[in-house]
Amino acid sequence: MSEARGKTYRLWNPEHYRREAQSPEAKLPEDDLVFFLLDTVSHLDLRRFYAPDEDETRGAPPFDPQMMVCLLLYAYGVGVFSSRKIAQACERNLAFLAIVGEDRPDFRTISDFRPLHLGAFCDGFVPVLRIAGESGVVKLGNVSTDGTKLQGNASRHKAMSYGYMKKEVERLREDIEALVTQAYQQDAAAEAALGSRRGDELPAELARRADRLVIIEAAMQRLEARAKAAAEAERQRRAEAEAARQRTGTKRRGRAPTAGDETPEDKAQMRCTDPELGIMPTNNKGWDSCGNAQASVDGASQIILACDVTVEANDKQQAAPMAQLTVVQLEQAGIEGPKDATGAAQKIPATYDSGYYSETAAAAVEQVGCEPYMATGRRRHHVPEAEVAEAPTTAKERMAAKVQSPEGRALYARRKVIVEPVFGQIKEVRGFRRFLLRGLAKIRGEWCLVCLTHNLLKVWRYACAPCTV
């Protein structure tokens, strides 16, 4: 004990503490997440992670891929996504030290390992889903699908319009021509002064402008290809409409439409940093470069059954692909669908908000083995629901009647407490609000890694460590 100004304090001896060996197993709880992941990763098939290094004999021995996989899974599980912050945690955090030990990877090793093995992480989604099924946390009583906008790794201020691109290309070409002329003049002067000796390099200004010209011209080509595809689709639509008029004998109203313009409008924009992501509306920023991250979530313990990222801001085209992906991955994981009292297989109840509804989408979801409950329109709060037609005739009226039936009400009321909290846990609790990688393929892999770690957290909390919930 120590005393100061009449107050007694507990003994504090930092000189002793700084020399004392700290054992993670002795300091951390027995059911800590890091020990669960160390046990789980040892039972996963990691051959694809080892494959790139099998035939490589150059350089120092790499870090064990099993250790790197466990490190990334734990880091994403506790909300540490930056490779530099992960490397710092490996030096200061007992849980990270339990994974890496004394030989700690630097941030560059972590940064290179993640994009190199994104495909292998995606392959690990189904095995983790199988673990969740064997743990009994997947019930398939209500599978809810929704999407959330996640910001891409691209500045919204780096977009350029097609009209500005044309002006910028012209200016860069003039600058390059002037710099090339200047370079020739410098070469001539250097040749006279140096003779056969080397004394010149490509000017930095010329290289920078040449690179920028290539990037802008590539963006212009993408805009031109998009405009050409849109014009072709419009011509196809007009041809089909004209053929329908010919069959029915209907006369055209007004003037004949002009041919579609394949040249992009001057206001058409394209980002140069990550052109695959589109400009999407967001809740608080107006418009931004985002990916539409999709997830199908089981209602029992909020296990993600399927995930994907699309560049389409609208969800109408995502219902069928997500339902198909969900059914396929459930089959691969060996998780059986619901059955009735006689043991006969039943369709999986699937709930969607109004953004997913269309007659085609509902039929496609039902065809793959799900029973869709889709809201057919948005309803304002505290406003009485519209009465359902006694004898619905259209597909939309039948879906509305289905959702407003007692069974439909019970299922749809659970939708908002199944899938929406999952996005809250990912974006607010773990802090994953934007993608770190660029390119749609890498973004999909990163979202799969995020969803995979979400499932591991759920299995750990509900099946392996119930006292921590």
Q: Indicate the burial class of 460 (C-beta count within 10 angstroms; 0-12, 13-18, 19 or more).
A: buried
Confidence band of 469 (pLDDT split at 50, 70, 90): very low
Q: Which residues neighbour 307 within 8 Å (Cβ) at sequence distance 6 or greater?
A: 125, 293, 294, 295, 296, 447, 448, 451
Q: Positive or negative, the Cα torsion across 405, 409, 411, 416?
A: positive
DSSP labels, 6-31: TEEE----HHHHTTSPPPHHHHS-TT
The helix (H) or strand (E) run that includes residue 41 is helix 33-41
Domains observed in the chain: 23-52+61-116 (no CATH), 138-154+276-468 (3.30.420.10), 157-193+200-245+260-271 (no CATH)
Per-residue pLDDT, averaged over 409-430, amounts to 93
Query: For the chain, how many helices (H) and strands (E)?
Result: 18, 10
Which range has highest mean pLDDT (47-61, 105-119, 152-166)?
A: 105-119
d(CA 316, CA 326): 17
Q: Is 188 helix (H, G, I), strand (E, B) or coil?
A: helix
d(CA 355, CA 147): 10
Confidence band of 6 (pLDDT split at 50, 70, 90): low
d(CA 149, CA 372): 23
pLDDT tens digits for 430-459? 999 988 888 889 999 999 999 999 999 999
The helix (H) or strand (E) run that includes residue 370 is strand 370-374
Give CA torsion, residues 81, 85, 86, 89, to 10 deg. Answer: -140
Q: Residue 352 in contact with residue 371, Cβ under 8 Å?
A: no
Q: Which residue has the tokens 């402008």?
A: 209
pTM of the model: 0.78
Q: Residue 219 in contact with residue 275, Cβ under 8 Å?
A: yes
Q: Which residues neighbour 86 within 8 Å (Cβ) at sequence distance 6 or greater?
A: 71, 72, 75, 80, 96, 107, 110
Per-residue pLDDT, averaged over 375-403, amounts to 74
Backbone angles phi, psi at 8, to 5 degrees: -100, 130
DSSP state at residue 295: E
DSSP state at residue 275: T
Per-residue pLDDT, averaged over 80-106, amounts to 92
Q: With a cut of 80, say whether residue 39 has pLDDT above it.
A: yes
Confidence band of 128 (pLDDT split at 50, 70, 90): very high
Q: Residue 365 in contact with residue 323, Cβ under 8 Å?
A: yes
Q: Positive or negative, the Cα torsion across 333, 338, 339, 344?
A: negative
Strand partners of residue 145: 296
Confidence band of 115 (pLDDT split at 50, 70, 90): very high
Q: Which amino acid is at 466?
A: P
Q: What does the pLDDT read at residue 170? A: 75
| Tokens linked to 254 | 């007004």
Q: With a cut of 60, say whether residue 229 has pLDDT above it.
A: yes
Q: With a cut of 70, say whether residue 66 has pLDDT above it.
A: yes
DSSP state at residue 339: B
pLDDT tens digits for 336-382? 988 887 878 889 999 999 889 989 999 999 999 999 999 988 766 55
Which range has highest mean pLDDT (10-24, 206-220, 343-357, 453-467)?
A: 343-357
Which range has highest mean pLDDT (20-29, 280-289, 298-307)?
A: 298-307
Q: With a cut of 50, say whether residue 74 has pLDDT above it.
A: yes
Give CA torsion, residues 7, 9, 11, 12, to 10 deg. Answer: -110
